Amino acid sequence: MDTTLHIPPFTVRLQSPFPDVEQHLARFYGRYDRAADGCFVDFHVRLVPGEWIHRVWRPQVRFLVDDQNPFIPLPADQAAPMFEWGLNWTVASRSLGLSVLHAAVLGKGDDAIILPGFPGAGKSTLCASLALLEGWRLFSDELAILDPATGWLLPHPRPISLKNQSIDIVAAFPGAHIGPRFEDTRKGTVAHAAVPDASVVQASKPGRPRWLVFPRFEAGAATSVVEIPKAEAFALIQQQSFNRDRLGDVGFDTLGRMLSDVRCYATVYGSTSGGIEGIQRIVSDS
């Protein structure tokens, strides 16, 4: 397979001999535009079989972007998740002058909410519930991309990556399309949820940062929402910047401008509906 896709704001060429990856693309990227021949390609990704004996014995997959090989090989049956992980790494480390944060982003109209991703905070499940149950437009479950020129967020919709218990929770949402489960990855069991069609259709429409929310899931907790000072939010969010250091002044200014555009909150919740309620309170508050 050799195909070139527009996954806004990037054009990605993917070459792969793995049938799993072809199915992954058909399942999750069917509605994305295919690029015309001769179009500029931002990232040339190749998934290739393991070297030497690992072509046949315990077959492996390797991820190459241009001539870089940033990862150790994985078992060949994890080729599809490796494409997603590898592309995340590529977007984060080759930022093309864009500021990239580790955060989920969703939009309502022109407004966007940023949910930074501290491990175990429940960001992916909350993100899936807002996108699938509440009609928010999915920008990304993983990568918040700020355009320094405008200060607005650029959508980069890709399948939502779910881990372990969150897979069953999201699978039960009406309208959820969950792909195959990949057992025994280094993140445990992993599955992907499809991006709602409306988010793919509007993937070139940027959003103005309005809310920066630090979510935390605590089993059984009652929903709480507190507004937090911007200085505190800045200290937290800059730990989540993948490439602030690669952009220098521009990266710092872009984060600063985003902070001045948003109101910052922390929310604790104990269930899917509790998480949604917290976000609703924040949105109606400001």
CB within 8 Å of 9: residues ≥ 6 apart: 98, 145, 154, 155, 156, 204
Nearer CB in complex with another protein: 55/187: 187
> Two tokens at 253?
């200014």
Least Å distance, CB 229 to another protein, is: 26
Nearer CB in complex with another protein: 38/220: 38
Least Å distance, CB 74 to another protein, is: 8
Nearer CB in complex with another protein: 25/98: 98
C-alpha pair distances (Å), 271 with each of 18, 72, 188, 220, 227: 38, 37, 22, 7, 21
What does the CA dihedral 20, 21, 26, 27 come to, rounded to 10 degrees? 70
Contact by Cβ (8 Å): 3, 12: no
Contact by Cβ (8 Å): 38, 97: no
Longest dimension (CA), the chain: 60
118 sits in which H/E element = none
Nearer CB in complex with another protein: 161/223: 161
Least Å distance, CB 70 to another protein, is: 7
Nearer CB in complex with another protein: 85/136: 85
Least Å distance, CB 9 to another protein, is: 9
Contact by Cβ (8 Å): 125, 104: no
Q: Which positions lie near another protein, rule CB under 8 A?
A: 11, 37-42, 44, 46, 63-64, 66-68, 70-72, 74, 82, 84-86, 88-89, 92, 94-98, 102, 117, 119, 142, 161, 186-187, 245-251
Least Å distance, CB 121 to another protein, is: 13
Least Å distance, CB 163 to another protein, is: 9
CB within 8 Å of 173: residues ≥ 6 apart: 128, 129, 132, 133
- Tell me which amino acid residue 51 is: E
Nearer CB in complex with another protein: 37/284: 37
Within 13 Å of residue 44, how many CA atoms lie on the same side as its CB? 6
| CA gap 110, 210 in Å, rounded | 9
Least Å distance, CB 15 to another protein, is: 10
Nearer CB in complex with another protein: 103/213: 103
